[in-house]
Amino acid sequence: MRDPDGPAVAEAIAELREAALGCVACQLQADRTQVVFGCGNPATPMVLVGQSPGEQEDQSGEPFVGRAGQLLTECLARCTIQRRHVWITNIVKCRPWTRTERGKGRNRDPEEDEIQACRQWIEAELALIRPKVIVCIGKPSAELVLGRPIPISQVRGRWFVDHRFRPAWVMPVLHPAYIVRKQGQADYEPLCQQLADDLETARQKARQLLKEPVQPTAAELANAEPTAPDPLDEADQPSLFDA
């Protein structure tokens, strides 16, 4: 399915990226190699929103390319999603880090003021892309998008409705950085599969919403429940979201 708005969205996103690359809205700009803007397909119905870049992302300029990113890419591949099919971004666009005593840098979580300074960019991205499904990777992302405290381990894989950015279906998932830390433990593989299953559920929802001529009512959205994944059947499709 070709999106007639695709080129216009791509152009607008490219302009937004140019603007974001020069951002000096918070202290993170002082120690960054570069701004890490979102990447992928801006005409996609499905956006993945993470927390903030780490060292590898800061070096490469692309979100989710370090260890956690590789696991995310692997889980996407398990449900036949390639990175170019979706938009992948973060709520904070510059790497938060602290200098250790040995002079090396250690990644840290973003501070609230850094998240607030940066939210203009994720808000603008979502306003341009207008995704039907937003997958929030980890708690800070889910809390920013949904605007309330989110007990991530209790609600991962469940659907919420985003009334703040626009009506869209929002699914919080566990952050792959959390899963990476379980490597070598018995729950590592089940957690990887759980993330892959959540992503597959999100993809199916995006496909279903693309096919629906009428948007669900507010009441339907408010009663959103998790959906079961369907069997894979898209091996040769140019877009995973084609009807």
Q: Where are the alpha helices (DSSP H) in 147-187?
A: 152-155, 176-180
Considering the rule CB under 6 A, would residue 51 count as an interface residue with ligand URA? Answer: yes
Alpha-carbon distance 123 to 205, whole Å? 22
At position 89, the amino acid (one-letter code) is T
Alpha-carbon distance 85 to 239, whole Å? 7
Q: Candidates 35, 44, 48, 57: give the one binding ligand URA (CB under 6 A).
A: 57
Contact 20, 35 (CB under 8 A): yes
Q: Candidates 52, 135, 159, 174: give the one binding ligand URA (CB under 6 A).
A: 52
Residue sitting closest to ligand URA (CB): 50
Contact 39, 81 (CB under 8 A): no
- Stretch near ligand URA under the rule CB under 6 A, chosen from 15-23, 66-74, 164-172, 227-235: 66-74
Give me the 88-117 binding string for ligand URA, x by CB under 6 A, dash otherwise: --x---------------------------
Q: Six-digit token pair at 153? A: 């381990």
Report which DSSP code applies to 57. H
What does the DSSP assignment read for 91-147?
A: SS-S--EEE-TTS-EEE-PPPHHHHHHHHHHHHHHHHHH--SEEEEESHHHHHHHHT
Cα torsion 158, 162, 167, 168: sign: negative
Q: Candidates 50, 96, 110, 131: give the one binding ligand URA (CB under 6 A).
A: 50
Considering the rule CB under 6 A, would residue 54 count as an interface residue with ligand URA? Answer: yes
- Stretch near ligand URA under the rule CB under 6 A, chosen from 46-54, 165-173, 199-207, 215-223: 46-54
Q: Is 153 exposed, middle or buried (0-12, 13-18, 19+ CB in 10 A)?
A: exposed
Give me the 130-159 binding string for ligand URA, x by CB under 6 A, dash otherwise: -------x----------------------
Backbone angles phi, psi at 50, to 5 degrees: -100, -165
Give me the 159-188 binding string for ligand URA, x by CB under 6 A, dash otherwise: ------------------x-----------
Residues 178-237 that bind ligand URA (CB under 6 A): none
Considering the rule CB under 6 A, would residue 87 count as an interface residue with ligand URA? Answer: no
Comparison of 178 and 188: residue with beta carbon closer to ligand URA: 178
Considering the rule CB under 6 A, would residue 86 count as an interface residue with ligand URA? Answer: no
Comparison of 144 and 209: residue with beta carbon closer to ligand URA: 144
Considering the rule CB under 6 A, would residue 121 count as an interface residue with ligand URA? Answer: no
Interaction site with ligand URA (CB under 6 A): 50-54, 57, 63-64, 66, 68-69, 90, 137, 177
